[in-house]
């Protein structure tokens, strides 16, 4: 009888079915009633189906969208064919949070990973939270991005939970008052992940086009040249992103908030010039936290920057000095810094103080390139 999960029974079942049977001692029965009455429903010891590494939010597994508008689009698996008019599910954004998109899984299941595709055919961002439940009454929030700006694909991880229902509630849209969701997936994964204050601490570079990051401020001949991973093919004419000193910045938006503790930059280095700059992070493009200050340092080429972990969905790199002209040029940006990839660190070096003064050192000349004009 020790395998029977008595607290999952109703009080009526325990008193009118279990008690007359005589199979359970009065003390065990009272303990079960105490657990049932004092615990929230989601803390009870439910059983759940475990199907590792497979999306269970599909019609094949019996999942269905039970709340929201345009329900048929959310679980159809189509993540390519959507536009302003079709290919997404939606709900109006309301202050009380009573609206939302709700998915009912085919059976109680153990999950710790959710993927969302937020509508991303323009540059808008969304905020949202996700809750899970067994009975649609007691909801546990597993993801809270209600104060963060997010866009496109969201790769979300949390402590494993047994649930039957998943609710996605949009709280903000930078364009209008509607939350649009193209795709929803949930599963249990054995892949390792690290969380800090509910945010993923990434080990791989998340400032990539594949990870849905984008450059939202800065000038370049090719969009997202800063994030395409090409650290060899740049010259006086192309392959970098820039901004005028004293005006603007280079701003990168990550797809979702992460807990970040390092960056790596490649400053334009086709001649012997040096730059000074600082770096800030934000989760909403309103409040910024300075994490790196190299405004008094002569910096060249590769820069590996380490700092205490900060929540970040936006990164702003602001140039303050260039020994050659009035423009700040950056070829490559990554976060976190991929320390397993060796680079020839430029001055002032990875371990140098941000407040110190570095001397310019001669650097091996790059292979000659065809130069048409100076970076502007």
What digits encode the pLDDT tens for the residues 22-50? 777 777 777 767 776 667 778 777 889 99
Note whether 137 and 68 are same-domain residues.
yes
Note whether 29 and 158 are same-domain residues.
no
Distance CA 27, CA 1 (A): 13
Note whether 119 and 153 are same-domain residues.
yes
Q: Report the pLDDT averaged over residues 102-114.
A: 98
Residue 282 lies in a domain: yes
371: tokens are: 């130069």
pLDDT tens digit string along 341-351?
Answer: 777 777 676 54
Please measure the distance between the N-terminal and C-terminal CA atoms of the chain and give it in whole angstroms. 78
What band does 17 get if pLDDT is binned at 50, 70 and 90?
confident
pLDDT surpasses 90 at 253: yes
Report the CATH number that the domain containing residue 357 is assigned in CATH.
Answer: 2.60.120.260
Specify the higher pLDDT residue, 312 or 8.
312
| Of 138-152, 253-267, 319-333, 359-373, the least confident | 359-373
Nearest alpha-carbon partner for 164 in 335, 75, 49, 43: 49
What band does 14 get if pLDDT is binned at 50, 70 and 90?
low
What band does 6 get if pLDDT is binned at 50, 70 and 90?
low
Residue 27 belongs to what H/E stretch? helix 26-38
Note the Cα 181 to chain centre separation in Å. 16
Which residues touch 317 (CB under 8 Å, ≥6 apart)? 249, 250, 251, 252, 265, 277, 278, 279, 328, 330, 333
97: tokens are: 């949070």
Distance CA 183, CA 87 (A): 9
pLDDT tens digit string along 258-276?
Answer: 999 999 999 999 999 999 9
Average pLDDT, the chain: 88
**Residue 74 CB neighbours (<10 A):** 24
pLDDT tens digit string along 208-225?
Answer: 999 999 999 999 998 889
What band does 367 get if pLDDT is binned at 50, 70 and 90?
very low
Distance CA 172, CA 296 (A): 39
Residue 47 lies in a domain: no
What band does 340 get if pLDDT is binned at 50, 70 and 90?
confident
Distance CA 109, CA 51 (A): 8
pLDDT surpasses 60 at 4: yes
Specify the higher pLDDT residue, 99 or 163.
163
What percent of the chain has pLDDT above 90?
A: 75
Note whether 34 and 101 are same-domain residues.
no
Nearest alpha-carbon partner for 108 in 58, 40, 47: 47
99: tokens are: 């609206």
pLDDT tens digit string along 45-84?
Answer: 788 999 999 999 999 999 999 999 999 999 999 999 999 9
Residue where the block lists tokens 């001055």: 347
Note the Cα 291 to chain centre separation in Å. 19
Note the Cα 79 to chain centre separation in Å. 18
- Boundary (domain end) residue, out of 193, 224, 257: 193
Q: Report the pLDDT averaged over residues 332-360.
A: 68
| Of 161-165, 223-227, 316-320, the least confident | 223-227
Residue 13 lies in a domain: yes
Residue 48 lies in a domain: no
Distance CA 218, CA 252 (A): 9
Note the Cα 132 to chain centre separation in Å. 19
| Of 297-306, 346-355, 364-373, the least confident | 364-373
Q: How far from 179 is each of 77, 125, 133, 184, 293, CA to CA, in Å?
A: 19, 10, 21, 13, 38
Note whether 208 and 343 are same-domain residues.
yes
Residue 49 lies in a domain: no
Phi, psi at residue 13, to the nearest 5°?
Answer: -65, -40
3 state SS of 259 = strand
pLDDT surpasses 80 at 286: yes
Secondary structure string (H, E, C) spanning 104-119: EEEEEEEEEEEEEEEC
Distance CA 102, CA 135 (A): 13
pLDDT surpasses 50 at 361: no
Note whether 221 and 158 are same-domain residues.
no
Note whether 187 and 207 are same-domain residues.
no
Domain count, the chain: 3
What band does 364 get if pLDDT is binned at 50, 70 and 90?
very low
- Boundary (domain end) residue, out of 146, 165, 193: 193
- What range defines the domain where residue 218 resides? 203-376
Note whether 358 and 222 are same-domain residues.
yes
Note whether 212 and 292 are same-domain residues.
yes
Please calculate the CA angle 114-115-119 and round it to the nearest 5 degrees.
Answer: 140
Residue 276 lies in a domain: yes
What band does 366 get if pLDDT is binned at 50, 70 and 90?
very low
- Is residue 197 within 8 Å of 259, Cβ to Cβ? yes
CA quadruple 311, 312, 316, 317: dihedral sign? positive
Note whether 216 and 346 are same-domain residues.
yes
Residue 85 lies in a domain: yes
Q: How far from 3 is each of 6, 27, 271, CA to CA, in Å?
A: 9, 16, 73
pLDDT tens digit string along 220-240?
Answer: 998 889 999 999 999 999 999
Residue 314, beta-bridge partner list:
253, 282
Which residues touch 273 (CB under 8 Å, ≥6 apart)? 300, 322, 323, 324
Note whether 374 and 322 are same-domain residues.
yes
Note whether 359 and 216 are same-domain residues.
yes
pLDDT surpasses 80 at 137: yes
- Is residue 193 within 8 Å of 139, Cβ to Cβ? no
Residue 188 lies in a domain: yes
Q: Report the pLDDT averaged over residues 276-302.
A: 96
Using CA atoms of 17, 22, 23, 27 in order, give the dihedral in degrees to the nearest 10.
100
């Amino acid at each position: 009888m020790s395998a029977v999960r008595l607290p999952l029974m109703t009080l009526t079942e325990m008193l009118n079915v279990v008690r007359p049977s005589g199979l359970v001692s009065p003390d065990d029965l009272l303990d079960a009633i105490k657990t049932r009455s004092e615990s929230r429903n989601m803390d009870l010891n439910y059983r759940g189906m475990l199907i590792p590494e497979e999306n269970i939010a599909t019609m094949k597994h019996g999942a269905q969208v039970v709340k929201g508008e345009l329900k048929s689009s959310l679980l159809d698996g189509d993540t390519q064919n959507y536009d302003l008019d079709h290919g997404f599910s939606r709900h109006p954004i309301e202050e009380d949070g009573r609206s939302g998109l709700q998915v009912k899984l085919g059976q109680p299941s153990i999950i710790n990973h959710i993927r969302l595709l937020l509508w991303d055919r323009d540059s808008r961002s969304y905020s949202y939270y996700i809750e899970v439940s067994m009975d649609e009454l007691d909801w546990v929030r597993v993801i809270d991005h209600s104060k963060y700006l997010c866009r496109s694909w969201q790769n979300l991880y949390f402590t494993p939970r047994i649930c039957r229902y998943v609710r996605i509630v949009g709280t903000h849209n930078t364009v209008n008052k509607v939350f649009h969701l193209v795709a929803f997936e949930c599963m249990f994964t054995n892949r390792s992940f690290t969380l800090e204050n509910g945010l993923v601490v990434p080990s791989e570079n998340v400032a990539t086009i594949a990870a849905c990051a984008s450059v939202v401020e800065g000038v370049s001949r090719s969009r997202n040249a800063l994030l395409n991973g090409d650290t060899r093919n740049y010259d006086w004419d192309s392959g970098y992103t820039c901004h005028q000193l004293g005006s603007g910045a280079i701003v990168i938006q990550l797809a979702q908030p992460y807990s970040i503790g390092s960056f790596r930059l490649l400053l334009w280095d086709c001649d012997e010039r040096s730059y000074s700059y600082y770096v800030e992070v934000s989760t909403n493009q309103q409040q910024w936290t300075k994490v790196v200050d190299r405004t008094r340092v002569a910096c060249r080429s590769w820069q590996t920057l380490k700092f205490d972990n900060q929540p970040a969905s936006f990164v702003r790199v602001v140039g303050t000095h260039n020994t050659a002209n009035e423009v700040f040029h950056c070829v490559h940006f990554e976060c976190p810094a991929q320390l397993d990839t060796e680079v020839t660190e430029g001055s002032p070096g990875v371990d140098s103080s941000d407040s110190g003064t570095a001397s310019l050192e001669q650097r091996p000349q790059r292979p000659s390139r065809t130069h048409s004009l100076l970076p502007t």
